[in-house]
A and B are shown apart, each in its own frame.
Chain A
Amino acid sequence: GAGVSQSPRYKVAKRGQDVALRCDPISGHVSLFWYQQALGQGPEFLTYFQNEAQLDKSGLPSDRFFAERPEGSVSTLKIQRTQQEDSAVYLCASSYGLAASYEQYFGPGTRLTVT
């Protein structure tokens, strides 16, 4: 099973707690994307990594959101002081190359519920 994996699959957090969501991309994939998918909506771009470099973080909704990929492989999305509006599925995707001509493979997502 060499697909994209994410953990945890489900996370319930009390408002104000910090959470960390993990993404293990397919080995050798250069590009890694994080998306946020609210209920009944399509995924929305959060941030993009090319290897360890975070080249675009324009979609992060606030400074409470932080992402890293220190060794160019595993990535972590951290949300500080969670709010109810952060409740969503967080999807990670990876691709071999630098454009969508290289298929983006999505992980199963982490469903975050903030109570």
Chain B
Amino acid sequence: EDKVVQSPLSLVVHEGDTVTLNCSYEVTNFRSLLWYKQEKKAPTFLFMLTSSGIEKKSGRLSSILDKKELFSILNITATQTGDSAVYLCAVEDAGGTSYGKLTFGQGTILTVHP
């Protein structure tokens, strides 16, 4: 059974701090790892990672995947109060007929204080 574990479960920082969110996974047939940001409603897509060692960046956010160690990190630099959200990590299993089926971790609750 596919499994995703995120840490820490919650994190409180001040504006301007840099944070690192962790995601470890077990999946039978790995296709991709995805990061989502969830505020009070729908998760919104941040990154999709398929290859080890290639950093993806979007503004102050970046992410990298280590397929050997089954691990990914999400970095947020110069945090702002608008970054406060739940950050979800998910893996996609390539096996079976359900392409795109995602297994999510529990999420990391990030709170950024002014």
Contact = CB atoms under 8 A, between A and B. Distances in A.
A33 to B, nearest CB: 7
Interface string A32-72: 01010000111111001000000110100000000000000
Interface residues of B, number: 26
A82 interface: no
Contacts of A33: 100-102
Interface stretch (B38-46, B51-59, B65-73): B38-46
B32 interface: yes
Contacts of B31: 99-100
A104 B100 contact: yes
Interface of A: 4, 31, 33, 35, 40-45, 48, 55-56, 58, 91, 95, 98-109
